[in-house]
Amino acid sequence: MGVRAGGWRQLVDYLHDPHRVARFQQLCGVSAVSSAQPLANGGCSHGAGARVTGAGEAAAAAARYRGATPGSLSKNGVACAPAAGYCGDTAASSSFPSPAATQPPAADPKKKPRRTNSLNGEAGTEFCIHNRLLYYLFSLGTELGNELFYITFFPFWLWNIDPYVGRRLIVIWVWVMYLGQCTKDIIRWPRPASPPVVKVEVFYDSEYGMPSTHAMSGTAIPFSLFFLTCGRWEYPYVIGLLLASSWCILVCLSRLYMGMHSILDIIAGVLYSILILIIFHPALDLIDNFNLTYKYAPLFIISLHLGMGLFSFTLDTWSTSRGDTAEILGTGAGIACASHVNHIFGILPDPPLVALPFSPPSITFNLIARAFLRFAVGVVVLLLTRAVLKAITIPLACKIFRIPCTDVLQARKRMEVELPYRYLTYGTVGFVALFLVPCLFNYLNLS
């Protein structure tokens, strides 16, 4: 028994080892910048892994390199000895290279992380991309789990394809993301260490890593779409299953490529998402029927989602996960309340069962033009709604709870500001997406 436990422990350690992630990044053409890299506090990194940071270390570096040549790099008055080569150059020398040797190559593959850290504003250090195709492919994969994707994909599905499937897909998405974010704050496992991992993305670096919520959403969304459309739409199901699998694999590998998760985080996220789907998918009929028909459904929906948000905010200190959780819960509450109102007024009614299964319509210019116009008008309305609510809710919450609003980022780290801002803003966005925007389409004859 002890041998078996030891074997499992070794497997967990192996899958959680950041060197496995770094090796995958190297295979995909990602490497740390090997030249001296000035840091924000005046330190420098030397080679692929050595780094000089902190006030004492910066002072030591200044003393060590005070006699550096005029061509050496410096930051905040601290002279730094350049390392040999650029972007993986393995040439080494104990003396300073000539100015010609320190020039980057003409086709400089150096890049900065895709977005700054949302907690402290750090932009991260430079890295090298040697395979641009994989960089853009995995950048697309990681965007499939970000806000920009959600605020465009879900509305497009609701407005142009099938509101019935869209409502139920959002229910699954809310529960998957909520449970994933809360589990992160309970387990509190850090993300892969850097070095050896190269942080291609640092936006979510302040969150914990286990499980990967990108892997969870990248599993739940495509496979839920597949199961919800099977028997409802006529299409080659083998192709649908292949597309769902490819979507899931792309998102999962993109998180390794970005240096945001270990292999264990990814596997746990996929398995956790499958478990949630097994539990919630059979209950979708009950949940959707309750949202549509129960007299006091809106009151229950708002109270439940708000209570879930309050619980999640007590799990840990501020991070992007808390704001994202409130955002997801608000969106889910807004969509569910709009579904109830739509049912009362007969907006976007579900077709009769005798009309099933649906056949995909013929692709014509008129169909594409109307779909694009609906999407463009709807997204503009949603972005305006979000901008207006954001401008109102943050100062209002600060005023009500007497919190200084001069620094918005610091103010949003308070639960009294972040929870109402996210919940009200995205709850309204969700309600507008499923109720007001379809009403606008009817008025503009775009339905």
Task: Kindly state the helix (H) or strand (E) to which residue 129 belongs, with its residue range.
Answer: strand 127-129
Residues 6+ apart with CB under 8 A from 10: none
Cβ atoms of 331 and 432 within 8 Å: the answer is no
Q: Judge contact between 401 and 395, C-beta under 8 A.
A: no
Q: What are phi and psi of 163, to 5 degrees?
A: -60, -35
Q: Which of 53, 48, 52 is nearest to 30 (CA)?
A: 48
The count of other CB atoms within 10 Å of the CB of residue 168 is 23
Reference 169, options 180, 153, 147, 148; nearest CA is: 153
Residue 97: strand, helix, or coil: coil
**Spatial separation of the C-alpha atoms in residues 177 and 379, rounded to whole Å:** 23
Which DSSP string corresponds to 189-240? PPPPPTTTS--S--TTTTS--SS-HHHHHHHHHHHHHHHHHBTTB-S-HHHH
Burial class (CB in 10 A: 0-12, 13-18, 19+), 420: buried
**5-30: buried (b, 16+ CB within 10 Å) or exposed (e) per residue?**
eeeeeeeeeeebbbebbbebbeebbb
Residues pairing with 32 in the sheet:
127
Strand, helix or coil for residue 83: coil
- Provide the residue count of the chain: 447
Q: How big is the CA angle at 57 (ends 56 and 62), to the nearest 5 degrees?
A: 100
Q: Which residue has the tokens 């002072």?
A: 59
Catalytic residues: 214, 261
List all residues 6 or more positions away from 422 whose beta carbon is below 8 Å from its beta carbon.
Answer: 323, 326, 327, 330
